[in-house]
């Protein structure tokens, strides 16, 4: 299990304190009020700054700074405040703002139908939810009901949400430590990104990991589901080709379900509607969230195999905002924009451009250990170099980039993750990567 703050950049960094000291007095007053009224938690308190505007690829702060948002909590495939999404929400507010869960509404039905149509067979049945963590919880419950089993296999270092059931199958100490007894039967294995450490430092390490998962499924004999991110999001690590297909075969062989957490990775970000379409493997269930509400409203969903509609006698979700007309309107508008603006193809084009630029930077920067990407999601891994630990260097680069006008996330303590909106212009994208290049240089000082 990960022993540190690997899901995001560390808010207790001395550079965070120095950054806050450099803000204007009015901004610091708002941050002080935030710290006073909210419960403190890792990765947030103290916050970085005060945002007063979000449009397209940019955030605007209280002091008037414009910052490229290459973090966005992975919700902004369409950029911030896409006009089509905003217009759909405004119109829906006038038409039908809320639907009690004892009823349905046309917007929710149309949204669920669209989600089912976009998913490859045999996926097609849908439940809507107000958050990604809730979607994971529904998947866990349905897996238990459908199989009559309760055990799960998931991966160390994985993140599936912050709810108690989600951290049970998640694998980060930052969320699990001190939380007390978690769900029983939550088994964990190493992620594909660490396969070489445990299964041989060669190209067959991931195959051996898949064989190990097959072995665990066999010896346990009563596993309900394997739950995983098809791409490790925080460190941008896709598995080798064929890995998930092999795991799916093992699941079928041993009567377990394969559940993919595509909360951050779906909806065109990686160059396809679902990233699993690039993995040669269709899961039994897939959880969606984050950008599903267009980066405006919280909206999530669980899409499952049609024959898994077996829990009509129980409540899987039953959330107050289960069939939200507003969330459904935002989701429908989001899916329409992805199609009409060709955002899957746009993600692939940005991926090619960004990879060339980042490879060129890496060729001049010996502290860069690797550049990875899938679609328009990039990871620049920093290593120990010239007496400076990788984590300290990554932290320095982050704050130099912020000072120059670029925000991104640091994953795993040393991976700069760049998640641009897919609606960004070519000129804006180039400018943002210029800032990253300058931040590397500034971090040398």
Of 258, 257, 270, 197, nearest to 228 (Cα)?
Answer: 258
Please check whether residue 191 lies inside any domain of the structure.
yes
Residue pLDDT, tens place only, 156-168: 999 999 999 999 9
One domain for residues 94 and 241: yes
Strand partners, 125: 304
Q: Choose one of 340, 369, 385: the last residue of a domain.
A: 340
One domain for residues 70 and 93: no
Q: Choose one of 340, 372, 396: the last residue of a domain.
A: 340
Q: Residue 437: which CATH number?
A: 3.90.1150.10
CA 426, distance to chain mean position in Å, is 24
Confidence grade of residue 3 (pLDDT, cut at 50, 70, 90):
very low
Question: Quick check: helix, strand or coil at residue 230?
Answer: coil
Please check whether residue 21 lies inside any domain of the structure.
yes
Confidence grade of residue 101 (pLDDT, cut at 50, 70, 90):
confident
Confidence grade of residue 2 (pLDDT, cut at 50, 70, 90):
very low
Number of domains within the chain: 2
| DSSP per-residue codes, 56-109 | BTEEEETT--EEEES-GGG--TT-BT-HHHHHHHHHHHHH-S---TTS--HHHH
Higher pLDDT, 4 or 126: 126
Summarize the confidence of residues 111-125 as an average pLDDT: 97
Q: Which residues fall within 8 angstroms of residue 89, CB to CB, at 6 or more apart? A: 296, 297, 326, 329, 330, 333
Confidence grade of residue 10 (pLDDT, cut at 50, 70, 90):
confident
Q: Choose one of 340, 357, 379: the last residue of a domain.
A: 340
Please check whether residue 390 lies inside any domain of the structure.
yes
Cβ atoms of residues 68 and 405 within 8 Å = yes
Range of the structural domain that residue 413 is part of: 14-80+343-444
pLDDT at residue 6, as a whole number: 54
Residue pLDDT, tens place only, 282-341: 999 999 999 999 999 999 999 999 999 999 999 999 899 999 999 999 999 999 999 999
Confidence grade of residue 1 (pLDDT, cut at 50, 70, 90):
very low
pLDDT at residue 378, as a whole number: 98
Q: Residue 179: which CATH number?
A: 3.40.640.10
Residue pLDDT, tens place only, 407-428: 999 999 999 999 999 999 999 9
Confidence grade of residue 7 (pLDDT, cut at 50, 70, 90):
low
Residue 147 has pLDDT above 70, yes or no: yes
Of 142, 130, 173, 112, nearest to 263 (Cα)?
Answer: 130
Summarize the confidence of residues 231-255 as an average pLDDT: 97
Residue pLDDT, tens place only, 188-230: 999 999 999 999 999 999 999 999 999 999 999 999 999 999 9
């Amino acid at each position: 299990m990960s022993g540190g703050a690997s899901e995001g950049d560390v808010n207790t960094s001395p550079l965070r304190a120095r950054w806050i000291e450099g803000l204007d007095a009015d901004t610091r007053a708002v941050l002080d009020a935030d710290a006073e009224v909210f419960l403190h938690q890792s990765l947030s308190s103290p916050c970085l700054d005060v945002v007063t505007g979000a449009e397209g690829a940019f955030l605007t702060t209280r002091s008037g700074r414009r910052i490229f948002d290459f973090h966005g909590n992975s919700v902004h495939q369409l950029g911030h405040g896409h006009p089509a999404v905003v217009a759909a929400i405004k119109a829906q507010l006038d038409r039908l703002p809320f639907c009690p869960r004892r009823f349905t509404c046309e917007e929710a039905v149309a949204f669920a139908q669209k989600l089912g149509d976009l998913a490859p067979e045999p996926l097609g049945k849908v439940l809507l939810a107000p958050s990604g963590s809730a979607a994971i919880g529904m998947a866990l419950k349905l897996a238990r009901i459908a199989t009559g089993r309760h055990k799960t296999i998931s991966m160390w270092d994985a993140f599936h949400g912050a709810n108690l059931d989600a951290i049970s199958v998640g694998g980060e100490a930052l969320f699990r430590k001190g939380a007390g007894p978690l769900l029983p039967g939550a088994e964990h294995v190493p992620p594909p990104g660490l396969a070489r450490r445990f299964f041989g430092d060669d190209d067959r390490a991931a195959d051996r990991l898949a064989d190990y998962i097959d072995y665990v499924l066999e010896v346990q004999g009563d596993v309900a589901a394997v739950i995983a991110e098809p791409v490790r999001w925080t460190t941008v690590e896709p598995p080798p080709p064929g890995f998930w297909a092999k795991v799916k075969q093992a699941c079928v062989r041993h009567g377990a379900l394969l559940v993919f957490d595509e909360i951050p990775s779906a909806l065109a970000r990686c160059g396809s509607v679902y990233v699993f379409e690039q993995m040669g493997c269709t899961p039994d269930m897939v959880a969606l969230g984050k950008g599903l509400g267009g980066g405006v409203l919280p909206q999530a969903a669980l899409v499952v195999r049609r024959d898994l509609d077996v829990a009509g006698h129980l409540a899987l979700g039953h959330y107050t905002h289960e069939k939200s007309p507003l969330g459904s309107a935002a989701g429908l508008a989001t899916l329409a924009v992805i199609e009409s603006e060709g955002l899957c193809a746009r993600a692939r084009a940005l991926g090619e451009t960004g990879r060339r630029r980042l490879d060129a930077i890496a060729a001049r920067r010996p502290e860069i250990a690797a550049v990875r990407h899938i679609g328009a999601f990039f990871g620049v891994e920093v290593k120990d170099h010239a007496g400076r630990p990788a984590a300290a260097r990554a932290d320095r680069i982050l704050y130099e980039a912020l000072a120059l006008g670029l925000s991104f996330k640091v994953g795993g303590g040393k991976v700069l993750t760049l998640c641009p909106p897919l609606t960004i212009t070519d000129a804006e994208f180039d400018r943002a990567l210029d800032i990253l290049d300058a931040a590397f240089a500034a971090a040398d000082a």
